[in-house]
Amino acid sequence: MNQKFLNFMRGMAGQRLAVAVSGGVDSVCLLCWLAQIGADITCLHVNHGLRANAETETQYVRDLCARLGVPCQIFYWTGEKPATGIEAAARTARYRFMTDWCRENNMYALLTAHQADDQIETFLMNLGRGSGLYGLAAMRRVSTRDGVRIVRPLLDVPRAELKKYCDDNEIKYFMDEMNDDAHYTRVRIRQNRHLLSEKLGISDARILLAVQNLGRVRDALDEQIAQMVASVTNNRRAVFSDSFLFDPAPDVRLKLLGTLIQKIGGDEYQPRLNSLSNALDKLTHDCKFTLGHCTIRRLGDRILIVPEGSKTSFRTRYGKQKSKSEQQIKKE
């Protein structure tokens, strides 16, 4: 068993945990390791009904949990499926089932089996897209989705080690045929990633080190932005000067605006980078527009962000002295 995994899991000893298990090698190995260390876990499995052997996989996960003495909760994605974007829809449904269950059952965290190869592939995919800091920092070890803590304890563990453990211990797992479908960018990266090491000397370890370094910068920036956001928001309303937004460096401006919109609009994700860039351009002069279920307004040197449909007055109910821009609003 991987020592880095063991060290990480010590920090969650005694907590009630859910673990997402698809039946693939990564999640099957994670389930077995968690059972072996005596973690307080419940297995969550979603049958999407998209493959001919879906029920076979579901029954295997159920039987494996019975052998390990682990409670197992099965979800079925039923009803009409979308004609396009089926993978994204299935992922959304999967997380909805699992996070709803975790909230209802007071789980400390939902553990997923994303591992080191997934992290490298995500970095390279985002590099190909021209992503900035947040994309290149790839997956977080701990994040939040729908109010549930998502934990990825295998991000330091290569896929080969997980497969070897299962093979050596004759633990069955299923292969997803899409893992070999070169129509997907991630698969093409997986099939050709060895060239980075063989031709350029860029090892997986070096890529993971870069991702970890970028992650530390991201975390420090997140902390700074969280403090800035808290200083100007009150009851899902933010009012601040233009200098508050435009004095920081460009990357900080984008993340600051995105975080404010996400917090006030209540969306799971922040607006896309190009939408935020366009919003910043608009905010260089007086304007009013909507983005991320927010209404955003600038008048004079003041900027206001409120939930879409709310009043866009800069005045407060406390009768504080009005700024010059607020006095201009009164005349409207």
Question: Tens digits of per-residue pLDDT, 142-166?
Answer: 999 988 999 999 999 999 999 999 9
Residues 162 and 240 in one domain: no
Same domain, 151 and 288: no
Name the residue among 99, 129, 126 with its Cα closest to residue 111.
99
- Using 50, 70 and 90 to split pLDDT, how confident is the model at 174? very high
| 139/16 same-domain check | yes
Domain carrying residue 96: 3-200
pLDDT at 224 over 50: yes
323 has pLDDT over 70: no
> Which residues, at least 6 apart from 71, have a Cβ–Cβ distance to it below 8 Å?
41, 42, 43, 65
Residues 35, 69: contact at Cβ < 8 Å? yes
Other C-beta atoms within 10 Å of 224: how many? 14
Instruction: Answer whether residue 210 is part of any domain.
Output: no
pLDDT at 111: 98
Cβ atoms of residues 68 and 42 within 8 Å: no
Looking at residue 178, what is its pLDDT?
67
Confirm whether 257 is domain-assigned.
Answer: yes
Task: Give me the pLDDT at residue 305, please.
Answer: 96
Task: Please tell me the distance from the alpha carbon of residue 68 to that of residue 52, in angstroms, as a whole number.
Answer: 26
Least confident stretch, 107-111, 179-183, 243-247, 320-324: 320-324
Q: Does position 263 have pLDDT exceeding 60, yes or no?
A: yes
Residue 241 lies in a domain: yes
Give the distance between the most distant pair of CA atoms in the chain.
78
The residues, ordered by sequence, that sit 6+ positions from 277 with a Cβ below 8 Å of its Cβ are 254
Q: How confident is the model at residue 306 (pLDDT cuts 50, 70, 90)?
A: very high
Residues 265 and 167 in one domain: no
- The chain-wide mean pLDDT, for the chain, equals 90
User: Can you tell me the mean pLDDT for 107-136?
Assistant: 93
Asked if residue 213 is part of any domain, the answer here is no
Percent of the chain at pLDDT > 90 equals 72
> Has residue 330 got a pLDDT over 50?
no
In a shared domain, residues 241 and 293: yes
Q: What pLDDT does 184 receive?
A: 78
195 and 289 in a common domain: no
Residue 134 neighbours by CB under 8 Å, 6+ apart: 218, 255
3-state secondary structure the chain: CCHHHHHHHHCCCCCEEEEECCCEHHHHHHHHHHHHCCCEEEEEEEECCCCCCHHHHHHHHHHHHHHHCCCEEEEECCCCCCCCCHHHHHHHHHHHHHHHHHHHCCCCEEECCCEHHHHHHHHHHHHHCCCCHHHHCCCCCEEEECCEEEECCECCCCHHHHHHHHHHCCCCCECCHHHHCCCCHHHHHHHHCHHHHHHHCCCHHHHHHHHHHHHHHHHHHHHHHHHHHHHHECCCCEEEEHHHHHCCCHHHHHHHHHHHHHHHHCCCCCCCHHHHHHHHHHCCCCEEEEECCEEEEEECCEEEEEECCCCCCCCCCCCCCCCHHHHHHHCC
Do residues 266 and 186 share a domain?
no
CATH of residue 314: 3.30.465
> CA 36 to CA 169: how far, in whole Å?
13
Segment 176-190, tens digit of pLDDT = 776 677 777 888 998
Q: Of 272 and 244, which is predicted with more confidence?
A: 244
- On the question of pLDDT at 1 being above 60, the answer is yes
Burial 24-56 (b: 16+ CB within 10 A, else e): bbbbbbbbbbbbeeebebbbbbbbbeeeeebee
- What is the spatial distance between Cα 259 and Cα 236, in angstroms, rounded to a whole number? 12
Residue 174, judged by CB atoms within 10 A of its CB (0-12, 13-18, 19+), counts as: middle
Can you name the residues that pair with 28 across neighbouring β-strands?
A: none
The CATH number linked to 96 is 3.40.50.620
The number of C-alpha atoms within 13 Å of 321 and in the hemisphere containing its C-beta is 1
Residue 72 within any structural domain of the chain:
yes
Q: CA-CA-CA-CA torsion for 117, 118, 120, 121, nearest 10 degrees?
A: 110
- Does residue 245 sit in the same domain as residue 150? no
pLDDT at residue 264 greater than cutoff 60: yes
Query: 230 in a domain, yes or no?
Result: no
Examine the fold and report which residue of 200, 220, 248 is the final residue of a domain before the chain moves on.
200
User: Which residues, listed in sequence order, are joined to residue 70 by a DSSP beta bridge?
Assistant: none
Let me know whether 99 and 34 are in one domain: yes
Domain boundary among 200, 227, 262: 200
Is 146 in the same domain as 83? yes
Domain check: are 136 and 252 in the same one?
no
**Residue 226 included in any domain:** no
* 34 inside domain: yes
Q: Are strands 16-20 and 40-47 parallel, antiparallel or unpaired?
A: parallel
Q: What's the domain count of the chain?
A: 2
| Average pLDDT over every residue of 40-59 | 92
Task: Answer with the one of 182, 200, 218 that is the final residue of a domain.
Answer: 200
Minimum mean pLDDT range among 11-20, 114-123, 265-274: 265-274
Note whether 139 and 244 are same-domain residues.
no
Give the model's pLDDT for residue 87.
Answer: 82
Q: Is the pLDDT of residue 197 over 70?
A: yes
